[in-house]
Amino acid sequence: MNKEERKGIPLLGEEFPEINVLTTHGLMSLPQAYKGKWFVLFSHPADFTPVCTTEFYAFQVKYPEFRKLNCELIGLSVDQVFSHIKWVEWIKEKLNIEIEFPIIADTGEVAEKLGLIHPKKGTNTVRAVFVVDPEGKIRVILYYPQELGRNIDEILRIIEGIQISDKNRVAMPANWPNNELIKDKVIIPPANSIKLAKERLEKAKAGEFECYDWWFCYKKLEK
């Protein structure tokens, strides 16, 4: 079954579905609108709700950091566009911050394509996060229940980590850049032959990188 036929949650590595959406910034075509950039599409259950308001405030505070990573933000819920507009106005008036990124007024089409409506949650969208690369491919998918607000720093960490991994062909350890074993160093992909395994240990002895064993080698990235 190809991706046009299959419904529900997409798979990592698939292309983000082509769709035209109405937003607080006007009509947009995804993923074409962000061609050449990373973007994060995140859904929220509803406007004028406490947890969602704290999330939008937090996303806006961190928006400059996303832009430094060549990444844009776009929100979404199954609310009409006038509701989004009034909510954004309320946030600016009451919380003294202006939401600069667009919010999709979903009719249910996007929610269906991305699997955003979960059982026993009514018609509200869950807190989903889709990280999409400059080629329009989905690289990360996160799903949170309605009761749990997202950690925006973790989403930033995800984008930065994937960009570093893509550029340097390395893997990122748990809690990077504050890993308990290797701190901010990155993991070299495991050797896939006996010859390469021996070479790894020899290079480690020569100081080119460090290894716990031939299958667990790591290094400091040059700035």
Q: Which residues are catalytic?
A: 52
Cβ atoms 37, 70 nearer than 8 A: yes
**What are the beta bridge partners of residue 41?**
74, 130
Give 3-state DSSP helix, strand, coil % of the chain, rounded to 5: 30, 25, 45
Rg of the chain, C-alpha, whole Å: 20
Residue whose tokens read 């080698």: 217
Terminus-to-terminus CA distance in the chain, angstroms? Answer: 44
Residue type, position 81, single letter? V
Two structure tokens written together for 159:
């984008």
Cβ atoms 42, 129 nearer than 8 A: yes
